[in-house]
Amino acid sequence: MTPFADRLIARTRALGHPLCVGLDPFPERIPALFGPAGSVAAAEAFFAAVIARLAGRVAAVKPQIGLFEPWGAAGVAAVERLCAQAQAAGLLVILDAKRGDIGTTAQGYARACLGPDPAFAADCVTVNPYMGLDTLEPFFAAAEQTAKGVAVLVRTSNPGARDFQDLDAGGAPVWARVAEALQPAMDRLRGLAGFSSLMIVAGATWPQEARTLRALLGQALFLVPGYGAQGGAAGDAVAGFVTGPAGLEGGLVSSSRAILYPPGAHDTAAGWEQAFDSALAAATAELSAAVRSA
């Protein structure tokens, strides 16, 4: 199978933009036409419609399992089906789970998300590095085996990212130490075109940090959350990207609420489709312009 890094770059080059749409259920914002308010059935029907509209228009979707978990096993079952549906629609699936645990448990999480024979049809899973490299190793090993990806939190997009990620650890912040420590795994997961299937999460709200991270890790794919609703601008979101054959490239920029929940009532499927397509077109146009501005 083609390595995750190459599958991702091929898609973003073909589309001309790096947009990834987060699948984040906010039950009170899902239009009533998809089902009973607050139900997991409505969320699933909504995201099935979202996936159908995204097919061929974006490289990837990012289901946020934490927002399905309040429905318990029923929510997790919906995530399973939506992942499979997104892959069948030709979309890459970045399962946003922020997993991390010691050896045997990390193996369990890695098997669930990356396989072989995974519970979730994911191409990549987000993981948390706090517990150390040995807790990330099962994810790296699984990704090597199945040609999938792992996205490690390095510098996140929230205000509290400063609390511990920014602590000065001997002349460099903790997040830079984490980035440095990832280099050997970055090499192991290097794809055919030079990018690694080891992604790093680098928030759109911190463009200076993104440039520093790119200098540290030239072959990293960036997963950039926080574009749109969280306040990151398109130019900042691609600050860590590099010049490729068709403009800036080197990762995905994720937006959720600004696209999923455009303003307005949306009483009919046609009305919702139009509003959704407009929000999607606005985001892809803005990001396309940002990557061409290189």
- Site residues for a second copy, 45-104, by CB under 8 A, read 64, 66-77, 79-80, 96, 98-104
Interaction of residue 37 with a second copy, rule CB under 8 A: no
Looking at 4, 34, 120, 195, which residue binds a second copy (CB under 8 A)?
120
- Site residues for a second copy, 145-184, by CB under 8 A, read 153, 156-165, 167-170, 174, 177-178, 181
Residue with smaller CB distance to a second copy, 169 or 269: 169
Least separation, in Å, of the C-beta of 38 and a second copy?
A: 11
Region class of 98: left (phi > 0), else alpha (psi between -120 and 50), else beta: left
Residue with smaller CB distance to a second copy, 172 or 192: 172
Catalytic residues: 98
Least separation, in Å, of the C-beta of 28 and a second copy?
A: 12
Residue 83: which residues within 8 A CB-CB, separation 6 or more? Answer: 63, 93, 95, 120, 121, 122
- Site residues for a second copy, 196-225, by CB under 8 A, read 225
- Binding flags for a second copy, 228-257, as an x/- string (CB under 8 A): ------------------------------
Residue with smaller CB distance to a second copy, 128 or 288: 128
Total binding residues for a second copy by CB under 8 A?
62
Q: Which residues bind a second copy (CB under 8 A)?
A: 24, 26, 64, 66-77, 79-80, 96, 98-106, 108-109, 111-112, 118-120, 128-135, 153, 156-165, 167-170, 174, 177-178, 181, 225
